[in-house]
Amino acid sequence: MAERLLEIENLSIRFATDEGPVTPVHQVSFGLDAGRTLGIVGESGSGKSVTTKAIIRLLPGSATILPGSRIRYRMRGGEMVDVQTLSPTARALRRMRGGEIGMIFQEPMASFSPVYTIGNQMIEMIRLHKPLSRRQARELAVEMLAKVGLSNPGHRVDQYPHELSGGMRQRAMIAMALSVGPSLLIADEPTTALDVTIQAQVLDLMRSLRDELGMAIIFISHDLGVINQIADDVVVMYLGTVVETGPVRQVIRNPQHPYTRGLLQSIPRIDTLDAPLIPVPGDIPSPSERPTGCPFHTRCPIMRAGECDRLAPTVREVSPGHSVSCHLVQAARVVA
Amino acid sequence: MSSPLITIRDLEVAFPQPRKGLFGSLPEPVRAVDRVSFDINRGETVGLVGESGSGKTTVGRAILRAIDPTGGRVTYLANGEEVDLVALKGEKLRRFRPRMSLVFQDPYSSLNPRMTVRDIIAEPLVAAGLMRDRQQIDARVREIAARCKLNLEHLRRFPHAFSGGQRQRICIARALVAKPDFVVCDESVSALDVSIQAEIVNLLRDLQREMGVAFLFIAHDLAVVARISHRVAVMYVGRFMEYAPVERLFFHPRHPYTHALLSAIPQTDPDAEFNPIRLEGEIPNPLSVPTGCRFHTRCPFARDRCRSEAPDWREIEADHFVACHFAEEFDFTRSRPKG
């Protein structure tokens, strides 16, 4: 049995904005075992990025993690730390960021500084977390660049980010994040800005590096197709709440929540051209106008008045590891 | 259907390069679009797919004369007369413009925040001087807004009050208000969330059926293109690789690049076969286009002939065009799911 690496319980985050407080993340709970890949899927405003930023406490100053939230992370020594209680300058937090937990983002140009070479930035990062000399760190950087498949890594290491193409930059960022051997990699839409042929290369690379290094991955995407390719388990988020979670295959084959079902029907497939595209009706409400009760009730085709618009649904397990947050799921449930 | 509206022959768009140094030589211009030929029929949707930098946006803009082509012919057949779009100038071009229109990718930056929705939709009518009477304009705006499923109460509001999907419907209403024959949709659903995207795709299909407008639907997402297009063109570094009716292109592609693109789309079906063709390396820079077939640097089937000789653009079977020396040898037929 793999050990728990990360446990998020009841996480709520509030932002102070000019138009008053908004809660983009509302009572989110999920967990991740060492070595597993968890996909988080959701549309814009679903809170998927904010949730993962909270794990390494990278939220902006206007954000507060509300009382009652817990984020527990197992440090390499084996102890569980309560991340939300750490002081912003805590040593444990510094060890986590970039060291035990690596991050890659959608836009690699924004994550590299344009005025230093790729190598300089990698060396700085490696030496922050590993007791290596500059020369050793540089060797490791070149080795990692070769591992992610960049041609001529000895030359690339001295290039500036703007000299690389988008796909190469994304791979350089993966090399940097993985150079210190994190136990957890958080990848926030890492392939969204890439063309499909390059996306296939990057997904391939992430899969093989994961198997080689044995790390866990949290993979955020709006594309269920990509999640299906890379993740073991999936968390479906809508307006800051988890509506459904379970093994990827099961959630796609046997979706329980009306939102998950709607999402699957609205995705165009290429294996059949004549299946109708059924949109999810209505628009995503703005985070400042969070509906009462179930957050999806304003767009839900099977909404039951008096219940869904008043009471927040509880989480119910439909089968081991597969749970859903919907009032009506028991009625829709097929008893196995 | 099936009568041609626009025929494009050997379309070429080259952008001049800055001189190297003060006295340096003038480098060869970059050919963003290199001898592209295809037809668009009345009331038809032609999908145009390709990876970033392939020149698909430039094709759309050159047909609309938002950029001037540097070569080739674009002929527009309207009411039995042939109009050479490339030669059109000045007042004549200006009067021709309302027949064609454009929907952009980003519904946030393409709407003027200081105009009401009504004024935004009316703008093409006013700008082209098609209508002057206020009531007449109002009536037309309301008609098209209703067709685009906009709430008529909202016409007095400003764009900031609307979500992405609603904004894109405003953009579509604006593009269609002058009843054009032809609209270029440049990545018009790419910025939208998937649950909203399907609605806009369905709306475009309904509007086409009602109004008989032809679309050039440019997108990098093949699955969306498959849903909306009658015919699809695949572009790579400034050239067309393949052009065929949607069923043929998606299930019986003849070009290795089309095949590779299709295989690389991650599918949501956990049981679907997923063995993406590994394309080596990166998309070539249009500044230094490979010799011969421009796809040969990444093509898993490349042979000597591909490196030296550029393939012709030829009709391999009725209405199925391809640029590959060995297209006859390839059978990339994809299996369909049972049931």
Interface contact B337, partner A, CB < 8 A: yes
Q: H or E segment at A319?
A: strand A315-319
The CA distance from B324 to B157, in Å, is 53
Do A197 and B279 make contact, defined as CB atoms within 8 angstroms? yes
Do A284 and B195 make contact, defined as CB atoms within 8 angstroms? yes
Q: B215 to chain A nearest CA, in Å?
A: 19
Give the one of B164, B266, B279 whose C-beta lies nearest to A229's C-beta. B266
The CA distance from A213 to A181, in Å, is 7
The CA distance from A122 to A119, in Å, is 5
* Range among A43-52, A103-112, A198-207, B321-330 rated most confident: B321-330
Residue type, A208: S
pTM over 0.90: no
* Beta-bridge mates of residue A71: A8
Q: Structure tokens of B126?
A: 């006013």
How deeply is A136 buried, as exposed, middle or buried, from its count of CB atoms within 10 A (0-12, 13-18, 19+)? Answer: middle
Do B166 and A198 make contact, defined as CB atoms within 8 angstroms? no
A217 φ, ψ to 5°? -130, 135
Q: Structure tokens of A220?
A: 């955020």
The angle subtended at Cα A314 by Cα A217 and Cα A311, nearest 5°, is 130
- DSSP string for A221-249: ES-HHHHHHH-SEEEEEETTEEEEEEEHH
Is it the case that residue A331 has pLDDT exceeding 60? Answer: no
Spell out the SS3 assignment of A83-148.
HHHCCCCCHHHHHHECCCEEEECCCHHHHCCCCCCHHHHHHHHHHHHCCCCHHHHHHHHHHHHHHC
Q: What is the pLDDT of residue B338?
A: 52
Terminal Cα-to-Cα distance of chain B (whole angstroms): 31
CB of A22 closer than 8 Å to CB of A10: no
Do B165 and A225 make contact, defined as CB atoms within 8 angstroms? no
Mean pLDDT of chain A: 90
Here the ipTM equals: 0.83
> In chain A, which residue's Cα lies nearest the Cα of B229?
A273
The CA distance from A247 to A233, in Å, is 4
Using pLDDT thresholds of 50, 70 and 90, give the confidence band for residue B26.
Answer: confident
pLDDT in tens, A273-316: 877 888 888 888 887 888 999 999 999 999 999 999 999 998 99
Q: H or E segment at B7?
A: strand B4-15
* Range among A82-91, A140-149, B303-312 rated most confident: B303-312
- Which residue has 């959630």 as its token pair? A251
pLDDT in tens, B188-223: 998 888 888 999 999 999 999 999 999 999 998 899
CB of B78 closer than 8 Å to CB of B99: yes
Percent of chain B residues past pLDDT 90, beyond the cut: 68
Q: What share of chain B is helix, strand, coil (3-state, %, to 5)?
A: 35, 25, 45
Contact map slice: B 191-220 vs A, CB within 8 A: 193-199, 201-202, 220
- Which residue has 């070479």 as its token pair? A117
Pick the range with the lowest mean pLDDT from A126-130, B230-234, B265-269.
Answer: B265-269
Do B223 and A249 make contact, defined as CB atoms within 8 angstroms? no
The CA distance from B201 to A235, in Å, is 27
- Name every residue whose Cβ is closer than 8 Å to that of residue A260 and which is 6 or more positions away in sequence: A236, A243, A244, A251
Cβ contacts of B283 on chain A, cutoff 8 Å: 165, 195, 197-198
Task: Choose the mutation target among B241, B268, B287 for the interface with A, i.e. most A CBs under 10 Å.
Answer: B268
Give the one of B164, B201, B282 whose C-beta lies nearest to A277's C-beta. B201
The CA distance from A51 to A263, in Å, is 21
The CA distance from A212 to A185, in Å, is 14
Q: Structure tokens of B123?
A: 């703008």
